[in-house]
């Protein structure tokens, strides 16, 4: 089945130790997103890739970076995790028409990666 797969499902790291979370998709969607969801909070968009174009939300900390080496994969790098970065990280994909953003298409989410910072 076509899907969005996130690894690892659970990640424990120490304060300040870099972490990489991965997301892969078999949907051939051209847009990939990373959301951060803290306990009892709404998922918050960190950034998204529209094809190869990186779009960072204005309030996303510099501590968070992303890479998209090809259509299928997208990585979230947290350079120096702090206690406040403990959260569920959700990857999503969608297919947007060439030529611009329509926002009309459905996002498909992965199961999430839960990050614990000690």
Partner 1 sequence: KQEVTQIPAALSVPEGENLVLNCSFTDSAIYNLQWFRQDPGKGLTSLLLIQSSQREQTSGRLNASLDKSSGRSTLYIAASQPGDSATYLCAVSSGNTPLVFGKGTRLSVIA
User: What is the spatial distance between Cα 46 and Cα 88, in angstroms, rounded to a whole number?
Assistant: 12
63 contacts partner 1 (rule: CB under 8 A): no
Cβ neighbours of residue 38 closer than 8 Å, sequence gap 6 or more? 86, 87, 88
SS3 83: helix
101 contacts partner 1 (rule: CB under 8 A): yes
To partner 1, the closest distance from the beta carbon of 116 in angstroms equals: 11
Q: Which residues make beta-bridge pairs with 73?
A: 24
Q: Which of 24, 33, 74, 87 binds partner 1 (CB under 8 A)?
A: 33
User: Do you know the residue count of the chain?
Assistant: 118
86 contacts partner 1 (rule: CB under 8 A): no
Q: Which of 23, 25, 29, 48 binds partner 1 (CB under 8 A)?
A: 48
Q: Name the residues that contact partner 1, by CB under 8 A.
A: 6, 31, 33, 40-45, 48, 88, 90, 92, 94, 101-104, 106-112, 114
């Amino acid at each position: 089945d076509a899907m969005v797969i996130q690894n690892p499902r659970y990640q424990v790291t120490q304060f300040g130790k870099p972490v990489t979370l991965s997301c892969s998709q078999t949907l051939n969607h051209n847009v990939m997103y990373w959301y951060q969801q803290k306990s009892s909070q709404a998922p918050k968009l960190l950034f998204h890739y529209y094809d190869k174009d990186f779009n960072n939300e204005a309030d996303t900390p510099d501590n968070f970076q992303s890479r998209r080496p090809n259509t299928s994969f997208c990585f979230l790098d947290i350079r120096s995790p702090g206690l406040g970065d403990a959260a569920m990280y959700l990857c999503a994909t969608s297919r947007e028409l060439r030529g611009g953003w329509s926002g009309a298409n459905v996002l498909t989410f992965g199961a999430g990666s839960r990050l614990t910072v000690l």
